[in-house]
Amino acid sequence: MKTEGTYDVQAIRAQFPILSRKVKGKDLVYLDNAATAQKPLAVIDALVHYYSHYNANIHRGLHTLADEATAAYEASRTAVKDFVGASSPDEIIFTKGTTDSINLVAHSWGKSFLQEGDEIIITSLEHHANIVPWQMIAAEKKAILRVIPIDDNGILDMEAFKAMLGAKTKFVSVIHVSNALGIINPVEEIIELAHQHNALVLVDGAQSSVHLDIDVQTLGCDFYAFSGHKIYGPTGVGVLYGRKDLLESMPPYQGGGEMIKEVRFEHTTYNELPFKFEAGTPNIADVIALKAGIDFINNIGKAVIRKHEEMLLEYATAQLKDIAGLRIIGDVKNKVSVISFVIDGVHPQDLAILLDNQGVAVRTGHHCAQPLMHRLGIVGTTRASFAAYNTLEEIDVLTQALNKSLKMLL
How far apart, in whole angstroms, are the C-alpha atoms of residue 131 and residue 145?
A: 9
- b/e per residue, 334-364, with b = 16+ CB within 10 A? ebbbbbbbbbeebebeebbebbebbbbbbbb
* Measured distance CA(237)–CA(96) in Å, rounded: 4
Contact 201, 221 (CB under 8 A): yes
d(CA 48, CA 285): 9
Separation between Cα atoms, residue 133 and residue 171, nearest integer Å: 13
DSSP label of 277: G
Name the 3-class secondary structure at 17: helix
- Read off the amino acid at residue 331: D
* C-alpha R_g of the chain: 22
Helix (H) or strand (E) holding 403: helix 392-409
What sign has the CA pseudo-torsion 105, 295, 215, 174? Answer: negative
| Residues near 40 by beta carbon (within 8 Å), at least 6 away in sequence | 15, 16, 232, 292, 293, 296
Q: Strand pairing of 22-23 and 26-27?
A: antiparallel
326-329: strand order across its sheet: 326-329, 338-343, 381-385, 363-365
Query: Counting Cβ atoms within 10 Å, is residue 218 exposed (0-12), middle (13-18) or buried (19+)?
Result: exposed
Examine the residue annotation and report whether 368 is marked as an active-site residue of this protein.
yes
Q: Which of 155, 368, 378, 379 is catalytic?
A: 368
Q: Which residues pair with 22 in a beta bridge?
A: 27
Distance CA 15, CA 397 (A): 22
Half-sphere exposure of 170 (CA within 13 A, CB side): 21
Please identify every residue annotated as catalytic: 368
